[in-house]
Structure 1
Amino acid sequence: MRGAARYGIEHELALLYPDGSLADFAVLTHDAVAAIVDELPDFPDGQRDLRIGDAGIRRKHWYAEGYERLGDDGELARFDPKGIEIRTAVHDSAAAAGAALTAAASRLAEVARRHGLRPVAVGHHPLRSSYRLDPPPNAHERALMASSPEERTAPLHMVTWGPDLNLSFPGAGTDPAVLADAAAKLTHYSPYLVPWSFSSPFRDGRPWGGLSARTFRRTGLRPAALAYLEPGAPLLPTDPSLVRHAGIPGEIGRIEFKAFDAVPVIEGEEPAAGCGTGLPGALLSLLTGLLRDGTLPGRRRTPDPAAHRRSALLGWTDAAVRAGSRAVLAAAETALRAEPDHAGGLALLRERLERRDTPAARMLDRYRSGGGIAGVAP
């Protein structure tokens, strides 16, 4: 992909109560989340490239994230929240998108604190492995769930958190084949991209044996990457989807990477000391370099479940996973040699890789030292 790139970030966060327990869909109400969002400012000029949605929940840069239960008439009947999502406007650099996210996350943390809640970046629910639709889906909801692979597996997202990192290259055009190829490249190399973000070493109240329960459970059922095409463009029949039609004009040409675990943006979101910040912008640089690279040949229309599970279980302790991560990082560094604005982010990723340093590893170290599990009250 050539030409100037544009960037946006969507950042999902879980919420903790003062006692350290997770404020999840079983106890958290939409009103409680709405009270936080209501205190946050409107940014009407920043909404040109952002979708609001039929229910009107996504009317700000912060909104309640969760599951919409619909009535027989298709109208919103109930909203079960799993946390709060932040989304930035579209920016002309990865650094600017990262800075906008940091500012929004800091403001959210300040307001949430007044409501007795703290945002935290974890990839998988530390206690629950499923979200049960109660009551069971009605006819309208069943029809919606049958409309796409993503709608069918939507309940799974209620026990996971992760960012959507969005890139577009306006000068490269909107050819569906080019966009699908970009998404297929990210999908192929996803098992080697995701370890930088791993933040879900706990499940069902204990270590599950790996580093990313989110990756292990959902990648393959849900997309690693999506490309957004002009309405009316032909769609590839894949399960999960690789391409979909844009819902608003600002989405046309967008390439969205969806497979990372949630990563901290500000220090207060850290699930364990030392996880560090700056990862979202660095990962945007990595994706940019991988899409600019012309040497790596791999393409997949659907994620490789076995490769993702190996990566989720072993991370960089596995020589093949480590080699794959080194290869994508080296390709990105070479492709971005003439774009020095990306150098700092890529250096951060190289340092993390060489030290095999992930949020999940730090969370496990904290647990083994008696520090407990983020989201589980002591």
Structure 2
Amino acid sequence: MEPRAVQEDRAFRYGIEHECALLHSDGGFADYTDTGFDELQAVIDALPEDPDDYPELRVGDQGIKRKRWYVEGYERFDTHGRLVRCDPKGIEIRTRIHGSVDAAVGALRADVARLDGALAPTRLRTTVIGFNPLRSEYRIEPPLNEWERQHRLGSPEERTAHLHMSTYGPDLNLSCATLGTAALVDIGRKLTHYSPWLVPLSFSSPFRDGAPWGGLSARTAVRTGLRPAVLVFLGERDEQVDADPSLTQEARIPAEVGRIEFKAFDACPDPVLYGELLSWLTGLVLDETLPGRRTTPDAALHQHVALAGLGDDDVHACTGALLDAAAAALAGRDDDLGRLESLRGRWARRECPAVTMLARYEDGEPVAGLRHP
């Protein structure tokens, strides 16, 4: 075990990016088929802009990401590269970079409440689910023009960007100033390897095409293998790892350098669960015992876990071993250990949001716009 003095030198910083799905006030699921960008942008316009959010948050080329809240969608361009429309899937909330897990979770909770307040006078409401319960596929119509093809084929993530139109999940971000480039890449490979046993505690997408699909995470079944489980952001002079999907990416703003971004969890209804998962990730970053490494996710294993979840005894045992490894590495970090114990309770109960969603659905309650026939 690492000496406590060394552990205390490892100060982590945290951020959360959370994708909110939307419901109409009558309870129906809202997406790009019946909700326009301008309608959502009007909600964003009513929310405050804080100049202190920058330079920690990226604005982006089109200026859509001007605030901590922004309309998430698929952008379309003309043949000269000018934005002509954005098909919305929902609203994303992202926190600033915080010095503790509790601060990041508290910031997200406050900004969800602000978004709910801005939506109150409209026909829309927020909900949390990991996958569009009505539509499995976003079709690119009309087909990409020549400029868009060149733009969208530049990286594995751009090439598969349309997949995110059906999925909702967090990017859980952590960084530590004492980690060098080689260590960051190694951690990215470790978290990619163990991702199949990390994700089941977050599963929240048991519906697909209007009904239960038989598993717990349609998001994991569809995206993993084509999209990264982890992205590590490196400096412009650092050597990038050649992989498809990507493992590393050049930081787009200085605040991203050294960031480890875990992307494979489903969206979680309670931000408290994000805090528990961030503490788990912290322990796995500190761990020096786990041997597994992969550059790209194991798609077949993720798909199996997406179906079975923690109901599979082998998956349950592997997830428990990762909790044990994290707990050993977190010795002396009492707040993290407390959150990890809460997560261990969920693991012992084989609990995830999808199980609760299915139970509510079977009881006849509406869940993300669906009701048992």
69-78 or 82-91, larger mean C-alpha shift? 69-78
Q: Distance in 2 between matches of 1:370 and 1:115?
A: 26
Q: How far apart, in 1, do the equivalents of 2:341 and 2:50 lie?
A: 33
Amino acid corresponding to residue 157 of structure 1 in structure 2: H
Separation in structure 1 between the aligned mates of residue 67 and residue 366 of structure 2, nearest angstrom: 34
Q: 1:337 aligns with which of 331, 339, 342?
A: 331
Q: Return the alpha-carbon distance in structure 1 between the equivalents of residues 34 and 371 of structure 2.
A: 14
Q: Post-superposition shift, 1:377?
A: 6.7
Once the two structures are superposed, what CA deviation does each residue of 1:183-218 show, in whole Å capped at 9, x if it has no partner? 111101101111111000000111101000000111
| 3-state SS, counterpart of residue 11 of structure 1 | strand
CA deviation digits over 1:268-294, x for unaligned, max 9? xxxxxxxxx511111110100001011
CA deviation profile, 1:333-373 (whole Å, cap 9, x unmatched):
11112111212211211111101111100011111112243
Three-state SS of the structure 1 residue aligned to 2:71 is strand
Deviation per CA, 1:118-162, whole angstroms, max 9, x where unpaired? 111100010101111111101111112211111111101001000
Structure 1 ranges of 4+ moved more than 2 A: 375-378
The root-mean-square deviation of aligned C-alpha atoms, in Å, is 1.3
What CA distance in whole angstroms lies between the structure 2 residues aligned with 1:226 and 1:74? 27
CA contact (8 A) 2:31 2:88 kept: yes
Contact map agreement 2:211 2:370 (CA 8 A) in 1: no
Distance 1:114 1:284 in 2: 34
Partner Cα distance (1:233, 1:77) in 2? 35
* Aligned mate of 1:68, from 60, 75, 84: 75
* Residue 350 (str. 1) matches residue 344 (str. 2): yes
TM-score calculated relative to the size of structure 2: 0.95
Provide the residue aligned with 2:308 in structure 1. 314
SS of residue matched to 1:15 = strand
1:156-305 aligned within 5 A: 156-173=163-180, 175=181, 177-265=182-270, 277-305=271-299
Task: Give 1:365's match in structure 2, choosing from 345, 355, 359.
Answer: 359
CA distance in 2, matches of 1:133, 1:232: 35
What residue number does 2:52 align with? 45
Q: Which amino acid aligns with 1:101?
A: L
Shift of 1:54: 0.6
Residue 270 of structure 1 corresponds to none
Matches within 5 A, 1:31-42: 31-42=38-49
Unmatched runs of 5 consecutive residues or more in structure 1: 266-276
Greater shift in the superposed pair: 82-91 or 43-52? 43-52
Indicate conservation of the 8 Å contact 1:19/1:377, yes or no. Answer: no
- Supply the distance in 1 between the matched residues of 2:309 and 2:370 (Cα, whole angstroms): 24
Distance 1:288 1:70 in 2: 40
User: What is the deviation of 1:116?
Assistant: 2.1
The one-letter amino acid paired with 1:321 is V
Q: What TM-score do you get using the length of structure 1 for normalisation?
A: 0.94
**Distance in 2, Cα, partners of 1:233 & 1:375:** 46
Letter in 1 for 2:206: P
Q: CA deviation at 1:42?
A: 0.8
Identity %: 55
Work out the CA distance in 1 between the residues paired with 2:318 and 2:28: 36
1:110 Cα deviation from its structure 2 partner: 1.5
Asked if structure 1 preserves the Cα contact closer than 8 Å seen for 2:207 and 2:213, the reply is: yes
**Which ranges in structure 2 are unaligned for 5 or more consecutive residues?**
1-6
Look up the SS of the partner of 1:172 in the other structure.
coil
Deviation at 1:9, TM superposition (A): 0.4
Contact 1:126–1:373 (Cα < 8 Å) also in 2: no
**Counterpart-to-counterpart distance in 1, 2:110 and 2:366:** 29
Amino acid at match of 1:207: P
Q: 2:321 aligns with which of 318, 321, 327?
A: 327
Which residue in 2 is equivalent to 1:6?
A: 13
Q: CA deviation at 1:171?
A: 2.3
Shift of 1:232: 3.2
- Are residues 1:29 and 2:23 paired? no
AA in 2 matched with 1:65: E
Separation of aligned partners in 2, 1:152 and 1:29: 24
Is this contact kept in 2: 1:66–1:80, CA < 8 A? Answer: yes
How many pairs does the alignment contain? 365
